[in-house]
Structure formats: structure tokens, C-alpha cells
Structure 1
Amino acid sequence: MTRAAEVTEAAADLIVVECAEHDNIEIDAALWLSGDHHLVLNPEIDGRDILRANFRRGVLRLQATSYVGVIPLNDRVIVRVKPRVPIANLTRMVIETGHDVLALSAFREYSSRGSADDWAMDVYADALLDYLDELLDAGMMRSYERRDDEGCFPHGRIDFTRTMQRFAARGVPNKATYSWFERTIDIPANRCIKSAMQAVHAHLSKSKAKPRKGDRAKITRLAGQLLAFEEVEEDTSYQFLDDSLVLGLTPLPEARAYYRSALDLSIVILRGVGIALELGGTDVRLSSLLIDTNKLFENFVRVSLSKSAARQGWPMEVLDGNSEGRVDLYDVPDPLPSPLGKPINALASLDPGKAQPDVVLRGLDGSFRLIAEVKNTVHGKNARFDDVLPERDEVEQAVTYALRYGLDFTVLIHPWFKGTKGLVYVGRVRSVDVYDYRLDLSTEDRTDAALADMAATMAGLAGLAIGQPPTSA
């Protein structure tokens, strides 16, 4: 059996299971449990919170988490986890936030769409480097090109007609016109790949506000790979994009089939086309990209509010409470409390802990105007009523942070999936009012309006008067 037949037969035996994020997955336990009841998982996902095993109604099941994409569970099962939001919105969220993705060694095909941004180029760079390693290990493709010359020491094939015309007819007996075929790597396919390598090198070398970790190592690796293409001419006019073999209209030699993925990716890079995250497509083959929608939703909300603040000139900053917007959770009072007659030392004097809301709005005077916890949870999905209370632990965390920041209200931000959209008043916990904002990302065409409404609501809660003129601060 040939290698291609083995791969085809193996693919035919794979079971593909589809589900939505956070859903239970109906897979026979025999496909992911060993005889001694150990999980049989792809090592790349083992130990990560990508899939969870749990009991539901006495049955051991797998459950998807916040990771969406194509997940090779093991060599027998592939799980395709779909996001709750439309794919176009997911792609937009990833692009606008520059959100990191988890790339697995398993490959899948993607569609290309729109313009390539920094995020797409970073993904392309990683993939091209890997393809080039494979290509150089297997060997570069060559072709035979005809060379013509004339002289006293012919080799190859003598062109008798031209020799008679140019030399014999003029009485020159010791010269001949001849031709030969020479193997060369300077062919359209290699010119295409070299141009893509140069485009990726330019992308990695350009100055960025937040350079990606490891770019310098990638540049060094790419420079080494470019040495193998020294004899390939640069074609700045991209005439190779008219070549039928480069475009896939003519099949590659079977022994050089590994060129196809590198060529398809090179074409996408050179045309400046972005990547769509649909579960399907045939434009380019890349590592399976998994996206943690929990972190993505949090980043997208914060980035969207930051853009609105900058565009409308809010007199306040939008901060990430996980970094620059955080404060100490505990104070150490002076004097220390003495409930048993003598002062008790505070653990907080050694470690004050951190209060770190996902979103912090801080005025230009340094006062805190609003804190929000962003939660990509699906509580109440199966409840009888459309509107249910937020999760208890989410409220407790948000109320604690509000007290620490000296605010009499707190905000939770969730993705909407049913019930009331926009701002909902939950109730009061002693002195702290709790609000829940449900952001509707369920349709692509209403996303801009939903983000604008969220920004206006947060600004209003933070004390920014409706219609307040922008500031230049």
C-alpha cells in the first residue's frame, strides 16, 4: 500500500464530531478511554483546559470549553467546536485584538478573505517557516533549461544548420554552435516562494508597537532558509503568478507534491489576503488554530471601549485591570486590630494581593469611575426564564472589586444569547448596585451598533454626560 493510500484509509476511519463551545460532546467513551480508564488524548491538548471529562446523569462525558476550532482528540476522533458568535465576528474580534491563537501540529484548510493584517501575517510566518523546513529537507525542485553557445570546444548537442551558416560558410572550421540542458532551481515555483519569504522577512523586521516574542529568532531562521534560494532570481513583477504550475492548474510532479502547501501559502501572502476562520475552505493549509473565546471576548470588549474613548475624546482612560489598572486588594490598618487584646500582624503586610478587574475606567484626575468584569459565560442557557441572575461567584468578585475601588456600583459584561439586551439592573448588595450588560454579537450587521451602545452605556455609568463635548486631554 502506498503512503497516499495509507493516509486516505486513515482519514476514512476518523470520526468527526461537531458541537458548540461549552456543549457536551456525544462520543463513545471507548474512543477516548483506555482499558485501564486513562484518557487517550492528543499530547498537545492533554493537560490543557480544552476538553473536560465529567459525569452527567451518571454517564462519563466530554465537554467543550471556551476553545473553538478543529481539535484532534486522538488518532481516531476529531472534534469541531463552533463558536456561539458568527464566524465573521470571531475573525473580526481576533484581528482587532491581535489575540494569540494556539496552533496545533494537525493541519486543516482555511479560506482567505479581506486584507492580510499583522495577525494574519504572524500566522503565515510561522506556517511558512515550517513548510520551508520540510521543503529543504525533501529537496528543492529543479528543471532543465536549454543553454546555447558557440566556440571551439562544443559540448552537448551541435546545431549543424547554424554552424554551417555562421562558420563553415565563412571558412571557419574550428567553431560550432551548440546547446545543452542545465539543471537549475531558478524556476517560477521557487521565485514565488522566495518572494513570499522576503515579504515575511519584511513583516517580521518592521518596527511594531508590541513586538511578538520570538520574532528575532524567526528572522534568523528565515535568513538561513533564504541562503538556499540564493540562485533564484528576484521577480519583482510577480510574473510567476501566471505560471500554471504555481497556480495549481498543472499538477506538481508526484515526487514534489510537498511544494503545494508552500506555494498556496506563498500566493496568499503575496496577494495580501487575510485569513477567515470558517470551519472549512480550500485556499491555504495551516496548522489547526484554536481560539480561547473567554480571553478573546474580554480583550474585544476592552479594545472596543478604548477605541470609543479615543474616538470620542472621553476624559478618562480605559485600562486593563490585570496590569496597569490594578490596585492592592488589602490595606494594612494602623493601628492593627486587637480583638484579643493585642495587635495581630496582617498577612497583607507581606502580600497585599491584587484587585484586578477586566476593565477599569480612570478619570484624568486619577479617580476611578467604573470597573467591570467581563465574563464569556452561558449561565441560564437552559433556564425556564429568559432573564436569570448572573453566577454568584461572578457577582461576589465584582462587588469585592467595587468596594476596593471605592465605587457604589459594579458592572458585569456578558455576551447576549437570550432575554434582555443591553443594560440590566440586577440588584443591590448592601451598598453596591450590580448591573449586567448583555452585548449582542449574534449578527454581523448589528455588531457596530451593539458596540456603540455598550460604549455609551459605560460612559454614562462612569458619569460622562450624554453629549459631553470631546476633550483634548
Structure 2
Amino acid sequence: MRDSVAFEVALNGRGLSSSGRIVRTAIPAIEHETVALPAELVRDDGSLDVYEDVLNKFRPTYQKNIPSIQCSGWVGYIPLNDSFALEVSTRVPVGNLERLVGMAAGYSPAVLRKYSRLFSDTKDRPEALVDVLADHLLDAFDRIWAGGLLKTYDQVVNSGSMPSGRIMPFETELLSAKMGRPAAVSIAFRRTSDFGPNRILRHAFEKLLARYLGLSDPAQRMRTQRLRKALERLAGIGYAARSDLTTQSIARHVERLPSNHATYADALLVAHLVVHDLGLSIRQAGGIAILPSILIDMALVFEAYMRRVLADGLADDPALEVKDGNKAGEGGAKLALYDPIAAGNANPPVTPDIVVEKAGKPLLVIDTKYKPAPKIPERGDVNQVVVYGVRYATEQVMLLHASRPNGRGHTEHCGDIGAFRIHNGMIDLNAASIENEERAFVSAVRALIN
């Protein structure tokens, strides 16, 4: 809390982030909900006064003859125009959204780079959000470099026969007497970029470079190249002292920024997160950093998160493998629906979210459903998962839901359809100890496949 307050004081009318920030009235919403819009969002011609590049993420409609927007699956702060924004929450209680995003291997959030918001910090650091931090810091530094590095005056003491600056009479007399010939001690001031703010940026870039080195993904290689270039530009800057890297020190630098170097506010606020290994709180606003709005697709996050939970939880058995039915190739289990198929017909794919195999043979097919757990799975969902069971030649199939009502287990046998055993899977994403909840779900799955 004290950290946030320090930065809120520093941002009070200072820096590019503060001056460019738009304060919008927040309209609370829940994903997939239809939300009535204020009259101010409707133009005289009946059209919606909403940013064009944001409007395509929603479906404009009318509810009880009132202009409304039907939210999609995005969660987060979504600016509508310069006056209003939607704050979209999850449809099921999620105690730690950052943990889910962090464990959702391969998931990347959508970033509305034209629109910013004020974020609070958190100790969870999802890899995808670190990418957002790195990009924002590099973009801010590019603007800094274009305008010139911030400089300060450094005091230099000279001794000898060639004084520079102001001569110190007492020190000059002592030096002359000691050397037995005329000599002078003088003090001069030189302009230098080698001081606190630039040392902080160098430290942040070095930490990020250590994180990205060796990654083979093309996007990560591009970040590595940009980080190397930033460090080359800071080649004459020394290492930051421990006192330079404290929250209070960084906040003071932001607070004292001259008006012609306002871009440093963006860079130093993000550098603070990098230096202190902090992440972004996706839902909670605060005063720690101003960054582009980040949107999360919870259905995709839930699917990738549960794949990771099972893969990690079952890793002690080398014969078991958890695969992604949405992709082919290594780690994937995607199949064509028909085998064989009549000549000339298109063959659609079969894409279950999770396939658990033992020694290459499917034992359990799971389809994730990011919605509250019903008493028994919906008919359409059952039809879908039974087709998966047929195609993967496994009798155990599950529909996995993103909640677990009190008193219910992590897996329930709903009944059989022919040779197929239908299971209702459940996990409480709002559990006080999500780690215990994950372990209990893995144990229940292990009992099914053993």
C-alpha cells in the first residue's frame, strides 16, 4: 500500500503517464452479460459513441428498448470512449486470476495498446504479462532515446597546475605547500547521464535480458534483440547502487522529472516492477504503473490452466502424458473426425481440450467448460464429449467445469451411455488454497485412470 501511495504522489500531475491518462467512469459488468449503456454513450443519430476498434469486441443490442452491449468472453478494463469504460469480471468466482494466467502455458492476453489504465502490483508474474511489461519498457525507452537521455550535473574535484571551475583557496594553499610548487584545487560541474534514473533502466534491461536469453520463439528473439540494443545505448551508464533501486528512490526520481523528460515516468514505473520482480494485478486498480489495457479470454485460460495442472500433477508417472487436442504434432492429440471418409468430402477436426494417455493409448478425454458446474452436464456438451470418446477409443470421458459447489467431489460419475462412462469434473477456482484444490483434482483424475 505504501508503495502505491508513493507512486500516486509521484504521478500527481507529473510525467507523460499522468498527463496522458484519461479518467473514465467505470461500468461494472460480467463476461457474456448484457449491459445497459448510459444515455451519454448514444449519439443523436442513435449510433454508439464507442471507439471503433473496441466496438468489434462486443455486440450492440437493445434490452427492454434500452441501448445495450452484450459482453463477450473478455475480462478486464475495456475503454469505451474518453468518458466511460467497462470493468468486466469473471462469470465464476476466481480467487487468483494472475495464477491461472501464469499457469496457462502458451496463452497471450489481448493488449489494447492505444488505451491505458492504472494498475496495482502483485507477486504473481505470469510470463505473458512480463512480455507486456518488457514491450512497454522498450517502447518508452525508444521515446526517451529519441529525445535524449536525462542528464544531471556531477561535481568534479581537480588537482594540479590546470585549474577548472572554482578554485578552493584553503585546499590550494595546502596542496602548493605539500608539493613545493604552485598548484590548485578546483571544483567544476559536468553534465552526465550516469546517474540514478538511467542506472535503474540499465538494471531493468539486464534483468529482462537474462530472462529472455536462449528463448527460441521468434517474438522472444525480437525482444532479446531490442534489449541488447537498449543496453548498447546505455553502455556509458554505471551499475545501480542498492539505494537507487528502492521503491522510495524510484518514486522520487519520477516526482522530480523535468517537464521535457516526461517519458521517463512510463519507463521508471515499469522498471520498478521489473527490478522488484512484481507482476500486474489484472483486475485491481492502483497507483503502481500506467500501462495499456490488458484483456483476458477466461475460456482459453481455463483450458490451458487445467492442462498444466494435470500435466504437472501426473508428471511422477513417466508412462502418463497430458496432450492438447487442439493441435497436432508434438504434445498434440488432434485427429480428423472420419476414418475413413468418402472420397471428395472435407474431414473436420476433432479437438478435445485435454487427452490423457498412458503409453500412447488414450485413457481419458476431457473437454473444459468455463461455466458453473451443473447437477448433471448439459445434453449438448455430453453429445460432444461422447463423440470424442468414440474417436479416441476411450470409455472414460469428462466435462470439466470451473466451479465446485459445497459438498461435491472433484469428479462425479453421471452415468453410462453404451460403453462410455460420463464424468462431471469440477474445480473451485475461488478456493482459499488453490494449490490444495489442484492436488485434490489431480488425485481424483488419477483414481479414474488407474
**Stretches of structure 2 lacking an aligned partner (at least 5 in a row):** 1-12
C-alpha offsets along residues 194-249 of structure 1, whole Å, 9 cap, x if unaligned? 111111112111x34xx4441222222222222332221124x5342369643438
CA distance in 1, matches of 2:244, 2:20: 35
Q: Note the 1:191-202 alignment, pairs <5 A.
A: 191-202=199-210
Q: Specify the SS of the correspondent of 1:214.
A: helix
CA contact 2:15–2:254 (8 Å) conserved in 1: no
Q: Note the 1:92-107 alignment, pairs <5 A.
A: 92-98=99-105, 99-105=107-113, 106-107=115-116
Structure 2 equivalent of residue 342 of structure 1: none
CA contact 2:324–2:353 (8 Å) conserved in 1: yes
Cα 1:167/1:412, change in 2 over 3 Å = same
CA contact 1:104–1:289 (8 Å) conserved in 2: yes
**Stretches of structure 1 lacking an aligned partner (at least 5 in a row):** 334-344, 380-386, 465-473
Q: Does 1:19 align with 2:29?
A: yes
CA contact 1:373–1:398 (8 Å) conserved in 2: yes
Q: Note the 1:137-156 alignment, pairs <5 A.
A: 137-156=146-165
Compute the displacement of 1:87 (Å). 5.6
Cα 1:347/1:413, change in 2 over 3 Å = farther
From 322, 339, 349, give the equivalent of 1:331: 339
Structure 2 equivalent of residue 358 of structure 1: 353
Residue 367 of structure 1 aligns with an amino acid whose one-letter code is K
Q: Which moved more, 1:111-120 or 1:255-264?
A: 111-120
From 253, 256, 267, give the equivalent of 1:252: 256
CA contact 1:369–1:407 (8 Å) conserved in 2: yes
CA distance in 2, matches of 1:127, 1:97: 22
Q: Specify the SS of the correspondent of 2:54.
A: coil
Residue 437 of structure 2 aligns with an amino acid whose one-letter code is A
Structure 1 equivalent of residue 69 of structure 2: 62
TM-score with structure 2 length normalisation? Answer: 0.83
Q: Does 1:187 align with 2:195?
A: yes
Compute the displacement of 1:134 (Å). 2.7
Structure 2 equivalent of residue 45 of structure 1: 54
Q: Which moved more, 1:429-438 or 1:290-299?
A: 429-438
From 357, 372, 376, give the equivalent of 2:370: 376
Higher relative contact order (CA 8 A, sep 6+): 2
CA contact 1:84–1:442 (8 Å) conserved in 2: no
Structure 2 equivalent of residue 263 of structure 1: 268
Compute the displacement of 1:369 (Å). 1.5
User: Alignment identity in percent?
Assistant: 25
From 165, 176, 184, give the equivalent of 1:167: 176
Residue 322 of structure 1 aligns with an amino acid whose one-letter code is N
Q: Which moved more, 1:119-128 or 1:14-23?
A: 119-128
CA contact 2:37–2:66 (8 Å) conserved in 1: no
Q: Specify the SS of the correspondent of 2:255.
A: coil
CA distance in 1, matches of 2:17, 2:447: 63
Q: Does 1:458 align with 2:445?
A: yes
From 144, 150, 166, give the equivalent of 1:135: 144
TM-score with structure 1 length normalisation? Answer: 0.79
CA contact 2:137–2:266 (8 Å) conserved in 1: no
Q: Does 1:220 align with 2:225?
A: yes
Q: Does 1:301 align with 2:306?
A: yes
CA distance in 2, matches of 1:170, 1:428: 102
Q: Does 1:122 align with 2:131?
A: yes
Structure 2 equivalent of residue 367 of structure 1: 361
C-alpha offsets along residues 440-462 of structure 1, whole Å, 9 cap, x if unaligned? 222232x3343233323333333
Computed over aligned residues only, the root mean square deviation of the Cα atoms, in angstroms, reads 3.3
Q: Which moved more, 1:322-331 or 1:107-116?
A: 107-116
Structure 1 equivalent of residue 281 of structure 2: 276
CA contact 1:158–1:179 (8 Å) conserved in 2: yes
C-alpha offsets along residues 43-81 of structure 1, whole Å, 9 cap, x if unaligned? 443434xx3333444544212222111111222211111
Q: Specify the SS of the correspondent of 1:137.
A: helix
Structure 2 equivalent of residue 382 of structure 1: none
CA contact 2:17–2:266 (8 Å) conserved in 1: no
Structure 2 equivalent of residue 240 of structure 1: 244
Residue 322 of structure 2 aligns with an amino acid whose one-letter code is V
Residue 27 of structure 1 aligns with an amino acid whose one-letter code is L
CA contact 2:16–2:266 (8 Å) conserved in 1: no
Structure 2 equivalent of residue 230 of structure 1: 235
Compute the displacement of 1:181 (Å). 0.9
Q: Specify the SS of the correspondent of 2:123.
A: strand
Q: Specify the SS of the correspondent of 2:231.
A: helix
**Higher-Rg member (1/2):** 1
Cα 1:25/1:418, change in 2 over 3 Å = farther
Q: Does 1:414 align with 2:423?
A: no
CA distance in 1, matches of 2:142, 2:279: 23
CA distance in 1, matches of 2:69, 2:405: 25
Give the paired residue count.
430
CA distance in 1, matches of 2:254, 2:137: 22
Cα 1:168/1:418, change in 2 over 3 Å = closer
Q: Specify the SS of the correspondent of 1:248.
A: helix
Residue 366 of structure 2 aligns with an amino acid whose one-letter code is A
Cα 1:411/1:44, change in 2 over 3 Å = same
Compute the displacement of 1:347 (Å). 3.2
Compute the displacement of 1:114 (Å). 2.9
Compute the displacement of 1:373 (Å). 1.0
CA contact 1:186–1:231 (8 Å) conserved in 2: yes
